[in-house]
Structure 1
Amino acid sequence: MSVEPTSGPDGPDPAPLARQLTETVTAAGEIALAMFQAGVKSWTKGNNSPVTEADMAVDVFLHRHLTALDAGIGWLSEESADGPARLGTRRLWVVDPIDGTRGFMAGGHDWAVSVALVEEGRPVLAALFAPATGELFTAEAGRGAVLNGAPLKVAPRHTLDGARVAGPPADLDALARRAPVERLPRVRSLALRLARVATGEIDVAFAAGNSNDWDLAAADLIVHEAHGLLTTRDGTPLTYNAPEPRHPALLCAGPALHAALVERAPQPPFFNATLDQR
Structure 2
Amino acid sequence: MQGHDLTLLLDAAKAAGDIALKYFQSDVDTWDKGGGQGPVTQADIEIDQMLHAELLGARSDYGWLSEETEDNTERLDRDVAFIVDPIDGTKSFINGHENFATSIAIAEKGVVRDAVVHCPVKQLTYWASAGQGAFLNGEAIAHNGANAVRSARILAAGSQMKLGYWKDQPPPIERHFRSSLAYRLCLVAQGRFDGMMTLRDTWEWDVAAGDLICREAGAKVSDRGAKVPIYNQSRPLLAGMIAAAPELHDGLIPYLK
Aligned to 2:58, what secondary structure does the other structure show? Answer: coil
Match of 1:9? none
Q: Kindly indicate whether residue 105 of structure 2 is the aligned counterpart of residue 116 of structure 1.
A: yes
What corresponds to 1:18 in structure 2?
Answer: 6
Q: CA deviation at 1:180?
A: 4.3
- Corresponding residue of 1:46: 34
What are the Cα deviations for residues 149-199 of structure 1, in whole angstroms up to 9, with x where unaligned?
111111242212331112121434668x56543222x21111111211101
Question: Deviation per CA, 1:86-106, whole angstroms, max 9, x where unpaired?
Answer: 000000000000000011011
Superposed CA RMSD:
1.7
Gaps of 5+ in 1: 1-12, 268-278
Alpha-carbon spacing, 1:199–1:106, altered in 2? closer, same or farther (3 Å): same
The one-letter code matched in structure 1 to 2:195 is: V
After TM superposition, the structure 1 stretch with the greater mean CA deviation from structure 2, 246-255 or 56-65, is 246-255
Q: Secondary structure at the match of 2:59?
A: coil
Aligned counterpart, 1:218: 209
Q: Indicate the residue corresponding to 1:31 in structure 2.
A: 19
1:261 aligns to what?
Answer: 252
After superposing the two structures, state which structure 1 stretch, 216-225 or 15-24, moved more: 15-24
Q: Name the residue aligned to 1:273.
A: none
Contact 2:161 2:170 (8 Å CA) reproduced: no
Q: Which residue of 1 aligns with 2:149?
A: 160
Q: Please tell me whether residue 140 in structure 1 is matched to residue 149 in structure 2.
A: no
CA–CA distance in structure 2, aligned partners of residues 28 and 196 of structure 1: 21
User: What residue is the counterpart of 1:233 in the other structure?
Assistant: 224
Provide the rounded CA distance (Å) in 2 between the counterparts of 1:85 and 1:249.
25
Return the structure number with greater relative CO, CA threshold 8 A, min gap 6: 2
Range with greater deviation from structure 2 (186-195 or 36-45): 36-45
Which residue number in structure 2 is paired with residue 4 of structure 1?
none
Match of 1:55, SS? helix
Amino acid at match of 2:198: A
Q: Say which is worse superposed, 254-263 or 237-246, in terms of deviation.
A: 254-263
**2:199 is equivalent to residue 208 of structure 1:** yes
Give the secondary structure class of the aligned counterpart of 1:68.
helix
- Confirm or deny: 8 A CA contact 2:225 2:239 kept in the other structure: no
Whether the 8 Å CA contact 1:166–1:172 is kept in 2: the answer is: no
- 2:28 & 2:245 partners in 1: Cα distance? 37
Shift of 1:39: 3.0
* Displacement after TM superposition at 1:216 (Å): 1.0
Query: Is 2:171–2:252's contact at 8 Å kept on the other side of the alignment?
Result: no
- TM-score, structure 1 normalization: 0.86
What TM-score do you get using the length of structure 2 for normalisation? Answer: 0.93
Q: Distance in 2 between matches of 1:156 and 1:192?
A: 16
Mark the CA change 1:161 to 1:72 in structure 2 (over 3 Å): closer, same or farther: same
Q: 2: distance between equivalents of 1:46 and 1:95?
A: 20
Amino acid at match of 2:213: I
Q: Is the 8 A contact 1:168 1:208 kept in 2?
A: no
Contact 1:220 1:230 (8 Å CA) reproduced: yes
Deviation string, structure 1 residues 118-156 (Cα, Å, up to 9, x no partner) = 000011000100111111001000001101111111124
Aligned in 2, Cα 1:159/1:26: closer, same or farther, shift over 3 Å? same
